[in-house]
Amino acid sequence: MNSYQADSVVEFSGNMVDNLNRLKITSYTPILDIKHVGGVKNDIYEVEEKEADSDCVYDDTHGASVILSLTDATDERKVRRGSRWFLNPEQGKPFVILISAIFNPDSANPTGVESRIGYADDGFYGIYFQHTGDDSDGSMAIVNQTLTGTITYEQADWNIDTLDGTGASNITGNFATIQTYFFELTWNNMLRLGLVINGKYITVHEISSQTDMTVLPTSCLRTFQSISCTTDFSGTAQLIHLSTCVLSEKGYSPKGTLVGVDNVESVVNVNSLIEKPILTLRHHEFVSFKGSIKPLTIHLFSSTPVNIIYKIYKYNSPLGNPIRGLTDDSFDRVITTYDGEYAFNSTGFDATYDWTKILLYQGVLQNYERVDLDEFYRDDMKICLGGDFSGMSDYLVITCKLPYGTVTGATVSAMIDWVEYPV
């Protein structure tokens, strides 16, 4: 029997196609999988930041989970956990993030407490679900924060399903219980967000083809969970994280094999017309004492609204000379201002150095600059590392100076995100 009819039309619901109007596939490949089975910490995937009056506890009360909490907090406080991997969506490939979490458990979070889960950098530039506590159910929103602005979509303004019982699914969302939240990305200006409820993907909001701002500020971000407060409160506020999974189509090819991620920070006063090292990066903690560092993003801040010239160099260690700090055994990753100035002059501790340098990038900073170093994925731009303390090591150096004719000094901060590569 011929099942074909010339006039037949097959229609698919919107949930069955991706943002390029293609049928969704089922052969997704996990590229990141974080679970807390038996309270075991996933060191290769997770990094934590904790402040006073805060904690991050591995717990089995709500299944295998991690509880981020603030207790009797004073002033501004924050707990943040994120993946050690920077995830790089590829143009034209579906890229799905699934995060299982409990916002505001037992509806007990005090007023002023914000809980967030999503895909963003350390400054929350990216896209995430946000819950604001108010001693009851609180309020939910989707926040899209970029370098050019922040848009907050309150639950009542979600453009697909408001999950208040009156939307397309007729479902009322309960965010104080275990829910799985998804982020579907196709590329920087097209994404969908929603929840997986009873095995169904319920899209609640769609952002597509904006012309005034980029939805995602950079191609490499990380998944995260955080809870924070802006005012004092008594009691305990919590966010419970159960698992995170990132999926993509088969054939996803990350640029390099990422081993870990970290960041370093430095502050220095710029008060002369001479280039002054503001941040110097090297690394000796890799287990095999080999490998490479890949710089991802550099953040520069100035305390004064004056133009500051900054340059980013790769310094090559001279053959046969060890890398020296203030003392024989000082091999810290972050070098002090004095150490940095000494190291790149012609003479110094116990030796004469013949440094060579390559200018990688330069620009003018007015107040805030964010430099995406994605193009440094080329092999010749990796910051190669030496062997042991008596071997060689290359440095990544950021320098700043005031332009000619400027007399006002400024304090400049620099921070760089980087990842490690195996040999």
- Give dist(CA 395, CA 295) in Å, integer: 11
Mean pLDDT on 93-117: 86
Single-letter code of the amino acid located at 190 = M
| pLDDT, average across residues 194-211 | 84
Residue bearing the bigger pLDDT, 132 or 63: 132
Average pLDDT over residues 150-166: 93
Residue 203: per-residue pLDDT: 92
| 57-62 average pLDDT score | 67
- Which span out of 172-186, 254-268, 348-362 was modeled with the highest average pLDDT? 172-186
The answer, yes or no, to whether residue 345 has pLDDT greater than 50, is no
Give the Cα separation of 188 and 404 in Å (integer): 39
Cα distance between the two ends of the chain: 60
| 261-302 per-position pLDDT tens digit | 555 666 777 766 777 777 766 544 333 334 566 666 777 877
Concatenating the DSSP letter of every residue in 33-46 gives: EEE-GGG---TTTE
CB count in 10 Å sphere of residue 13: 6
Model confidence at 195, pLDDT cuts 50, 70, 90, reads very high
The model carries a pTM of 0.63
**C-beta neighbour count of 260 within 10 angstroms:** 16
Q: Where are the domains of the chain?
A: 14-249, 261-421
pLDDT at 299: 76
Under the banding of pLDDT at 50, 70 and 90, the label for residue 188 is low
pLDDT at 160: 94
Q: How far is CA 102 from CA 128, 183, 389, in A?
A: 14, 16, 47
Closest CA to 189 of 246, 223, 148: 148
Query: Is 401:273 a contact under the CB 8 Å cutoff?
Result: yes
Contact of 413 with 266, CB cutoff 8 Å: yes
Q: Which fold has domain 14-249?
A: Jelly Rolls (2.60.120)
Q: Where is average pLDDT lowest: 38-47, 110-119, 215-224, 229-238? A: 38-47
pLDDT at 163: 93
- Reading the block at residue 383, the tokens are 């910051």
User: What's the whole-number average pLDDT of the chain?
Assistant: 70
